[in-house]
Amino acid sequence: MKRETIAIHHGYDGDPATKAVAVPIYQTIAFEFDSAAHGAALFNLDVEGSIYTRIGNPTNTVLEKRVAALEGGVEALSVSSGMAAIHYALINIAEAGNNIVSLPQLYGATYTLMAHFLPKQGIEGRFSKTDDPADVEKLIDENTRAVYCESVGNPAGNVADVQGLAEVAHKHGVPLIVDNTVATPILLRPFEYGADVVVHSMTKFMGGHGTTLGGMIVDSGKFPWRQYPEKFYMFNKPEIAYHGVVYVDQFGAAAYVARCRTVAQRNTGSTLAPMNGFLLLQGVETMALRVERHVANARKVAEFLRAHPNVDWVNYAGFPDSPLYSMAYRYLGDNACSLLTFGVKGGLEAGIKCFDALKLFKRMVNMGDAKSLACHPASTTHRQLTAEEQAKAGVTPEMLRLSVGIEHIDDILADLEQALAHAKS
């Protein structure tokens, strides 16, 4: 089936006990075993079923199946936030002494995780000079455990060469992990270009209404863990943290995500609340329609800003003269994302004046909400980075980032018009 249909139906055939048509919220911690033997089979992972909500819950299972299908993967694990998803995706394969090689421009907290937090646990984040896969390859060595990128960068809007990065990663026997939050599987499916694992902040376009934190880790099922019994011993040798299970034997193609659940999630507990799983399911159902409108509105906003005398520059991947265009066109076609940045004429001061004058656009650090949002990355999301780190992340002092919402375009443009008029005065 097509994505629009998968988003509404996949993973749920009605509740067998009640025939409920909407996915029920299984607001329970534990699930009863039929017998000691049934409990043992569940703990052995020999049969499917729920044990304890920290490890899995039927409401979240529907969401996991649905997002896995939307991405074209084999299995997924839902977690409490996008950052939890990214953290688990990395520590599932990297340990002290290992490194992760990443594109330089990342979501603020992801950058901090790799540059400052994981190194304290002995896992080094390495950032390539440019987005070019050849530059990424230079940093890969025998201790590298993954190549990492955002398919569309937040906030810079740069589109990664997912295929080129996958080739480089595979040449060196490591998986490519892609944060697909900004693009969503409606615009881009990284598995079609060779990515091995996709992570999401469900908080953004998936949920879509700025109400619910959530994260997802999706396994393509394609990475050949068996070919690397030493490097990826955690999938190939008995797991001491889970009474000797060998993931590639027990879970086959879904070995990676199974270990995320039974080791990272079971032992550290960043679990998605079932209520939040339910709320995110409501968002996923309408995601395709919303993304379509986000994309159409963003194009009109970009054109409006570029023609405006008070605007210095507009960074929108859908303009053929943008440095982002060739990669964006290759991976997104004409559907450049609804995230764009621009600089108000007059630098930092004028930028802040314009920002403060916005009325319809909410001043906040989120994106992918039905509402139009504006953010000043240098004073918020990227505030904790040094000026040099900010520049590397694609953040300049005067830059405003817009997440264009799904309101009527006339109202969106009217708000920008009045705010830009303020910036000049």
- Residues lying near ligand PLP in the complex (CB under 6 A) are found at 81-83, 107, 109-110, 150, 154, 179, 181-182, 201, 203-204, 213, 215
Instruction: Provide, rounded to whole angstroms, the least separation between the CB of residue 338 and ligand PLP.
Output: 13
Amino acid letter for position 109 = A
For residues 176 and 248, which CB has a smaller minimum distance to ligand PLP in the complex? 176
Residues 6+ apart with CB under 8 A from 258: 45, 75, 247, 250, 251
Between strands 362-363 and 373-375, the pairing is parallel
DSSP per residue, 220-255: -S-S-GGG-TTTTHHHHS-BGGGTTB-HHHHHGGGH
For residues 156 and 255, which CB has a smaller minimum distance to ligand PLP in the complex? 156
- Token pair for residue 46? 């020999």
For residues 394 and 413, which CB has a smaller minimum distance to ligand PLP in the complex? 394
Instruction: Provide, rounded to whole angstroms, the least separation between the CB of residue 201 and ligand PLP.
Output: 3
The whole-angstrom separation of Cα 176 and Cα 44 is 30
Instruction: Provide, rounded to whole angstroms, the least separation between the CB of residue 227 and ligand PLP.
Output: 30
Q: What is the sign of the dihedral through the CA atoms of 12, 18, 20 and 24? A: negative
For residues 156 and 248, which CB has a smaller minimum distance to ligand PLP in the complex? 156
Instruction: Provide, rounded to whole angstroms, the least separation between the CB of residue 320 and ligand PLP.
Output: 25
SS3 label, residue 419:
helix
- Token pair for residue 277? 């799983």
**What end-to-end distance do the CA atoms of the chain give, in Å?**
54
The whole-angstrom separation of Cα 260 and Cα 55 is 10
For residues 109 and 253, which CB has a smaller minimum distance to ligand PLP in the complex? 109
Residues 6+ apart with CB under 8 A from 240: none
Instruction: Provide, rounded to whole angstroms, the least separation between the CB of residue 375 and ligand PLP.
Output: 11
For residues 186 and 213, which CB has a smaller minimum distance to ligand PLP in the complex? 213
For residues 203 and 335, which CB has a smaller minimum distance to ligand PLP in the complex? 203
Instruction: Provide, rounded to whole angstroms, the least separation between the CB of residue 84 and ligand PLP.
Output: 7
DSSP per residue, 281-304: HHHHHHHHHHHHHHHHHHHHHHHH
DSSP 8-state class, residue 333: T
For residues 44 and 211, which CB has a smaller minimum distance to ligand PLP in the complex? 211
For residues 272 and 314, which CB has a smaller minimum distance to ligand PLP in the complex? 272
For residues 232 and 316, which CB has a smaller minimum distance to ligand PLP in the complex? 316
**DSSP element (H, E) containing 77:** strand 75-79
CA nearest to 5, candidates 285, 332, 293: 285
Instruction: Provide, rounded to whole angstroms, the least separation between the CB of residue 214 and ligand PLP.
Output: 7
Closest residue to ligand PLP: CB criterion? 82
Instruction: Provide, rounded to whole angstroms, the least separation between the CB of residue 199 and ligand PLP.
Output: 8
Instruction: Provide, rounded to whole angstroms, the least separation between the CB of residue 194 and ligand PLP.
Output: 20
CA nearest to 397, candidates 353, 352, 363: 352
Residues 6+ apart with CB under 8 A from 29: 52, 53
Contact of 401 with 338, CB cutoff 8 Å: no
Tokens 């911690």 belong to residue: 29
Residues 6+ apart with CB under 8 A from 62: 11, 12, 23, 277, 281
Instruction: Provide, rounded to whole angstroms, the least separation between the CB of residue 212 and ligand PLP.
Output: 9
